Amino acid sequence: MNPRCRVYNFFGRMVDSPMKYGEKSISKAKLEIWDNPNAERDYEINISFPEFSCLCPRSGYPDFASINIRYVPDRKVVELKSLKLYLNTFRDAYISHEESTNRVFSDLEKKLKPRFLEVIGDFNPRGNVKTVIRVSSGERKKPAKG
């Protein structure tokens, strides 16, 4: 059976609609990690996600941002499609700029245990106010042995 979601039609009436394949994928999103093929080497991975969105917890207005992730992996790396789907789970969440950026950081840090991690939420101006949130693990850790 095809899952359904509630959407507004052209006339502004709420109707049940079959979930689209992208919505299904997002609803099942989980960060997937892979083994680092070069764990003995320090190298940096930079990922930019320029279409991040969430909802303001106070007003309900949408917030748009670029989420920039920079990390030096240890034993694990993040699979990019799973990261994309994970970041899209925020689009209907009522969550602040600070909380969303910190949650992305915490989830990646917990899963990857990288040598270094930085997440920057670069939010578009709204009401003539621009916000940039930067969360960083600080100094780089030494490679894990064995």
Active-site residue, selected from the candidate residues 54, 63, 74, 122: 63
> What pLDDT is stored for residue 18 in this prediction?
75
Active-site residue, selected from the candidate residues 5, 16, 35, 56: 56
pLDDT tens, 4-59? Answer: 566 566 676 666 667 777 777 777 789 999 999 999 999 999 999 999 999 999 99
* Reported pTM: 0.83
CATH 3.30.1130.10 boundaries in the chain:
32-136
Is the Cβ–Cβ distance between 85 and 52 less than 8 Å?
A: no
pLDDT tens, 114-146? Answer: 999 999 999 999 889 999 999 999 766 666 665
**Annotated catalytic, 92?**
no
Confidence class of residue 1 from pLDDT cuts 50, 70 and 90? very low
From the CB of residue 37, how many other CB atoms can be counted at a distance below 10 Å? 8
**Annotated catalytic, 5?**
no
> Does domain 32-136 sit in CATH 3.30.1130.10?
yes
